[in-house]
Structures are given as structure tokens and as C-alpha cells.
Homo-oligomer: A and B are copies of this chain.
Amino acid sequence: MAYRKFDSEVAVRPDDIDMNNHVHTSRYLDYVLYARFDQMNRCYGMSMEKFTENGWGWFVKSCQIEFKRQLLMGEMVVVRTWLDSFEGSDALVRFQILRKTTMKIAAEGSIVNTMISTASGRAIPIPASVIAQYTQFREQESP
């Protein structure tokens, strides 16, 4: 059993390109953060607003990225993300960044998101209702 993978598309913008003529290192992370935001509502049926209304927020606790291929101006990028596991306040999310034309991996890595109370600013256990919502997206892993 594994969580379903979802894809978001991002068009490379001129302000993403750096002196090496490809997408700047930190923008890969921005593409992932965009994909997670996009997928919250569209794929998981839990918008950022629902979290905010409940006094919950997600913060990035850590991230790690391996860079494999350059991304160039004019490219369309596919950002694939999926939940790996939950532990206490933390949700481990994995991602791949793919060049759409070849679907080859340009980067891959993971992010740990921590749930906080927006009132206290402190970590709180991820509520059972949130985990239940995500659990709908567990399925038999493709072999």
C-alpha cells in the first residue's frame, strides 16, 4: 500500500533562470511548494482555507533535494508529489521534478511538513480527521 502520486505542471518563467542559463537551484523547491499547494484542494479535497479555519498551519521542517538534470527556459515541468508517512506532527512528502517532453527526472527529494497551531505557533499532532482524509488516497502500489 502506498499513497497515490499526483502531478502539477509548471511553466519555467524568465525570472527562474540564472547566470548558468537554467532554472536556479532554489526555484526547484518553489516548484514543489507550488505543486503541494495546487494539489491540496484539487487532488486531496483539503484546501489551505480549511486548514486555516481550523487554526492549523503547515510549516516546512526540512527538505532535501538531489539535482539530476537542468531545466531550461521554455520548458514545461511536471512536479509529482506523494505522501510517504505520518509521524506525530510530521508528514513526509516525496517528490520528483520531471521534464515534460521526456518525463526524465530533473530532481527528486523529500520535504517534512510539520503541523502547527496557528494560535500558538507550536507543533501539534496531526489530527485523526486529517490523516483519515489522506488515507482515502492509499492504494495498492503498482508492481
Contact = CB atoms under 8 A, between A and B. Distances in A.
21 contacts: A10-B11, A10-B13, A13-B37, A14-B33, A14-B34, A15-B18, A15-B24, A15-B26, A15-B30, A20-B57, A25-B29, A25-B33, A25-B60, A26-B26, A26-B30, A26-B33, A37-B74, A59-B67, A61-B66, A62-B65, A62-B66
Give the interface size bracket for A toward B: 35 or more
B18 A30 contact: no
Interface in A79-129: none
A73 B27 CA distance: 17
A111 to B, nearest CB: 9
Given A19-B21, A25-B29, A26-B30, 8 more contacts: A13-B31, A14-B18, A15-B18, A17-B19, A20-B59, A26-B26, A41-B74, A64-B64
What 5 pairs across the A-B complex have the smallest Cβ distances? A64-B64, A26-B26, A26-B29, A15-B30, A13-B34
Contacts of A11: 10, 34, 38
A124 to B, nearest CB: 16
Nearest to A15: B30
A63 B60 contact: no
Given A14-B30, A14-B37, A30-B15, A67 B73 contact: no
Nearest to A19: B17
